[in-house]
Amino acid sequence: MKYQKLGKTDLEASVVSFGGWGIGGGSVWSDKSVGVSDLERLLDLASDLGINYIDTAPVYGTGVSEQLLGEALKKGRRAKFLLQTKCSLNWRGDGGNFHYERDGYTVNNDTSASAIRKDVEDSLIRLQTDYLDLLVVHYVCKSWPVEETMGALLDLVKEGKIRAIGISNSKPEDLDEYEQYGTVALVQEQFSLLAPYHGMDYFPTANKHHTTFQVYGALEEGFLTAPDYVDRTFPQGDVRGKLPWIHEPIKGAIHQLFDVMKPLTEKYHCSYSNLVQAWTLQQNPGINLLTGFTRPETMINTCQSLEIQLSQEDAALIGNAAKPAQVTELDK
């Protein structure tokens, strides 16, 4: 495993981080079902592999992901991991801007000081911990002043309830503004071979502030793991059924991308996932690779991507082969 400091903090994090979105289940992940004992085994394997960084959020399964982690992190596991969750999205019905309806809940986005404090209190209970290593603003919002949002976050740092601050689903100018009021250790943003433009635009600003860029969606919810995955169908409500990769002509272009990558898997003795993840890590210094794990073999395979160093020619070949399938904006 490789490690990196998160932003300008002293938090030493594994380059591969454990994503907790999928373990929340619900209609958004219709084929995921992880129990506490399953998660305990996954966390023990993560520790054995050197992964020491977990990401979750209150809305992942409307509390389910945090609750499962709270149970699974008992028996001494909590001390082995940096634990990151989020604030701003909640289903309490006490204010905020409408964000979505799902599984019988209305989720609002609220970055006010009072909402952030309540979010943290709720997460600490679900996660059964006294502190969070990182708290990330899940969706940056202009309805409340950044000064108010950062003020609340900095107060929580002073109180010892959180150790560092991050933002997500933001723009480079948001990071500039947040940095006027405090230090942002991390930005968590969508970036992939099929949707690279947001990240490419963001990298210079993140580098300017020495802020870690944590990638989510590098494998596009599985669509970049194998050619046959592109041909799958998903039930209504499943996040994968809303992505553009299931429609022509993009679907056909992804199959052509796999045709280009196939000989490279043989050259580097690796999986398609390894190629895509290695390409992702080479796009900017200090990228943190956030990947969802519900199966041990996926975790082991992801860690193997750290051993691959693509040649410049091969990285360019992959990037160019993906261009016919790329989209400029992606809403998950």
Catalytic-role residue among 60, 139, 216, 272: 60
Closest by alpha carbon to 135, among 105, 165, 108, 99? 165
DSSP state of 92: S
The token pair at 132 is 């969070």
Residue 177 corresponds to which amino acid? Answer: E
The span from the CA of 251 to the CA of 317, in Å, is: 19
Q: Is 60 assigned a catalytic role?
A: yes
- Rounded to 5°, the CA angle 172-316-213 comes to 25
Query: Phi then psi for 102, rounded to 5 degrees?
Result: -160, 135
Contact 177, 144 (CB under 8 A): no
Contact 50, 15 (CB under 8 A): no
The span from the CA of 162 to the CA of 160, in Å, is: 6
Instruction: Report, as residue numbers or ranges, the catalytic residues.
Output: 60
